[in-house]
Chain A
């Protein structure tokens, strides 16, 4: 490599199959201004050779929009759960380490199976129960202030960074994690969505429910969309407690 061209050093934790043992590979890439982790992974795909000159395979990773809206490319970058597209090389200490999420099953290399979140969203009925798609007139009137409260919650990209970073999110607790709880807050606050409020709160009671939260606050720190997750947990925690009290007197 020419002496005047800067290079980028990247160490990647790789794993060929879900059962295989992980191993590390190191790559040295030519630096270009504006590079991000996804463009570095594309460079490796175009020329899959390690730093020591060994031919290898392109790295498998999830990606789609590359502008931090689709939620695909979450991984651990220099020890932190992050989106690879918005991780700019200029802002990362080298060598840059890339690892797959540790709390989700690895598919291959940096790609993991995050379907648990979508299953959780089913359990809490994260939708507005409309009567149908035929013409039923306009939706419920909503104040601008209500919209400004709900919109940030609705920007969750299901990246699962909050779950990866949460000390309580593990097999032992079965905790649902912040993303799902925040969606409960969103739908319980919607004028029509709140019809399913009790179902949602009951889904969050018991083992793996909202009481597993240990208030470590890691979720809100890693959320790429700055969603007020701890506020959501506090809010839904209160709703759940009230519901539990009501359920107690009803029985």
Chain B
């Protein structure tokens, strides 16, 4: 039998994990990525990866990891796949260890674990504070090995434009653009796995990398793929505001004992080190005595917002609070957190070993994404999704250090299922009509030609700023229906103005503003899914918080939001699906008291 050919789009952790599984099973992979895969956004993950190895004698178990994840996600995730992920996690850590990830060690030479948010156990394995980088490199190296054996072909410097589907909505390949020559090509395959990560750029500045625009997910949504729980956006409590992006300050800073505080006196201008303990307010420790600084991210983010905007206690009147590590021994800080301390030092100019860091919440992660079943398959036959771009694991709020494990889990499930499906396609002799490739390529070339020739007055970079500003203001931490509806109206206006985009560069070689303009259109379409999903959900659950509906409403809203694109109306439509809560009965989620 012919070898199954699978296309993987995205070379972060999920894409590389899938690639390795497929190559190992004898499949052939075409791996597409905008950047060289070693430069993917997964490198930005810092703090660690969760697995209940129970190496600290605490009685941790995969069931408790499962329970923490479901509870942390406010019961919105379907439970069976989350349970499987937590059970696979210890094996995934062992595999990464065998691949050479330089995890921190205990004196005995075993893997060290630290604490993270939303759990009371030391469950997070880590490699300094650059765990994502180290994990990505380990998988990148294994993929390079398969590449040198001819089992993987990399297409680095290619932008995914669309899927190639036949009349029966079966996926037979993709359409992509060479980012140098700007040429559009189609690529056939028996199955396609989408692993294109996050959508941070929709919010303007975020902790995400430049490539995290959500453009691929949006293109597929506009082709009929369901997009689920789009309204669930994680805002990380501790980021460093910057001119070009918000840089993440890992939760591991708090996992290693970092404390969040503000001066009790509004507008206190003293050097933070000279402010005595009695005049500092450690508000997280006071409000959440059990979890303290390690409450889940949605809880910590709302607390910081409250302190800044309701108590008016932001540092020096600014939207910032202190994250303090100065009480911890420098040697321990260097061993366990060096990578993130270096980022703060380089980009802010202060040494966080000597002076408390100034931080503020920043858009970080999308819990929502392409809808998949328990085998990572989308509603389109032959099309799979894995990693941050799929919605399946984190419910209404992701726990820290669960993203790395969910990416690898997703890739490890999607890869083998895609191979199995592809083998069946080959066996059945099912063949796509050649015209579907030609017509998809022509459709994309027409979009390109139109954009290139467009003669208007709108600047895509300025439209993007307007998009980011309004999404950050109205569709992140605190949500009011009136503001969200205004946002959606603004999105309609931006889409209309997009029709008059004028490119300042019309050359056909490595034209980055042209590529960006294409991504921007997809961002605008997906932003409507996020905004409208948020407007509809009249409750508060996990990261989705409406002061007018402050409680979780299981009777009406314990359900998955599924958006699909109504092409004739050029806007999203919604349906809902019950959540599989067959393993853990939903209970109130409270971190301020025993649960």
Contacts and interface: CB of A to CB of B under 8 A. Distances in A.
B38 A158 contact: yes
Interface in A43-58: 45-48, 55-58
B510 A128 contact: no
B377 interface: no
A64 B144 contact: no
Nearest to B98: A139
Contact of A69 (B35, B130, B244): B130
Contacts of A129: 145
B468 interface: no
Interface stretch (B39-47, B65-73, B567-575): B39-47
Contacts of A147: 102-105
B39 A143 contact: no
Interface string A84-100: 01101000000000000
Nearest to A121: B144
Interface size range on A against B: 35 or more
Contact of B462 (A36, A46, A67, A130): A46
A24 interface: no
A39 B144 CA distance: 33
B127 A151 contact: yes
B98 A130 contact: yes
A190 B134 CA distance: 14
Interface stretch (A107-115, A161-169, A208-216, A237-245): A107-115
Interface in A27-77: 32, 34-36, 38-39, 42, 45-48, 55-58, 60-72
Given A34-B243, A55-B504, A108 B20 contact: no
A34 to B, nearest CB: 5
B130 A107 contact: no
Contact of A126 (B102, B103, B144, B459): B144
Contact of B145 (A36, A125, A151): A125
B102 A150 contact: yes
A34 B242 contact: yes
A34 B343 CA distance: 14
B94 A135 contact: yes
Contacts of B43: 65, 69-70, 157
Contacts, number: 195
B3 interface: no
18 contacts: A36-B347, A45-B512, A45-B513, A48-B505, A58-B505, A65-B209, A66-B210, A66-B245, A67-B343, A70-B39, A108-B180, A128-B141, A133-B21, A147-B103, A151-B102, A154-B137, A155-B128, A187-B100
A92 B242 CA distance: 18
A217 interface: no
B586 to A, nearest CB: 33
Contacts of A86: 346-347
Given A61-B512, A65-B39, A66-B210, 4 more contacts: A71-B39, A122-B148, A133-B21, A144-B105
Nearest to A37: B244
A41 to B, nearest CB: 9
B134 A122 contact: no
A68 B100 contact: no
B509 interface: yes
A38 B339 CA distance: 21
A24 B513 CA distance: 20
B469 interface: no
A139 B41 contact: no
B244 A85 contact: yes
A67 B347 contact: yes
Contacts of A150: 102
A38 B378 CA distance: 37
Contact of B459 (A46, A85, A108, A118): A46
A148 to B, nearest CB: 7
Nearest to A69: B43
Nearest to B240: A67
A133 B408 CA distance: 12
B217 interface: no
Contacts of A122: 144, 147-148
Contact of B100 (A60, A158, A190): A190
Nearest to B244: A39
B38 A108 contact: no
Contacts of A154: 102, 127, 134, 137
A185 B109 CA distance: 21
Interface in B18-74: 20-21, 24, 35-36, 38-41, 43-44
Contact of B109 (A109, A127, A142, A157): A142
Contacts of A118: 36, 38, 144
Interface in A157-202: 157-158, 187, 190, 192-193
Contacts of A69: 43-44, 130, 133, 339
B510 A60 contact: yes
A61 B510 CA distance: 9
B556 interface: no
Contacts of A62: 35
B209 A64 contact: yes
Contacts of A206: none
B106 interface: yes
Contact of B510 (A45, A66, A68, A107): A107
A138 interface: yes
A17 B180 CA distance: 10
B35 A138 contact: no
A86 B342 CA distance: 11
Contacts of B24: 132-133
A130 B138 CA distance: 11
Contacts of B99: 127-128, 130, 139
Closest 9 A/B residue pairs (Cβ): A139-B97, A127-B141, A57-B505, A39-B244, A108-B510, A46-B461, A128-B100, A39-B243, A70-B39
A135 B91 contact: yes
B583 interface: no
B180 A107 contact: yes
Interface in B179-213: 180, 209-211
A133 to B, nearest CB: 6
Contacts of B245: 66-67
A28 B512 CA distance: 21
Interface string B249-277: 00000000000000000000000000000
B319 to A, nearest CB: 15
A2 interface: no
B247 interface: yes
B338 to A, nearest CB: 9
B504 A17 contact: no
A26 interface: no
A111 B510 contact: yes
B94 to A, nearest CB: 5
A137 B247 contact: no
Contacts of A16: 507, 509
A133 B95 contact: yes
Contacts of B102: 147, 150-151, 154
B335 interface: yes
A186 to B, nearest CB: 8
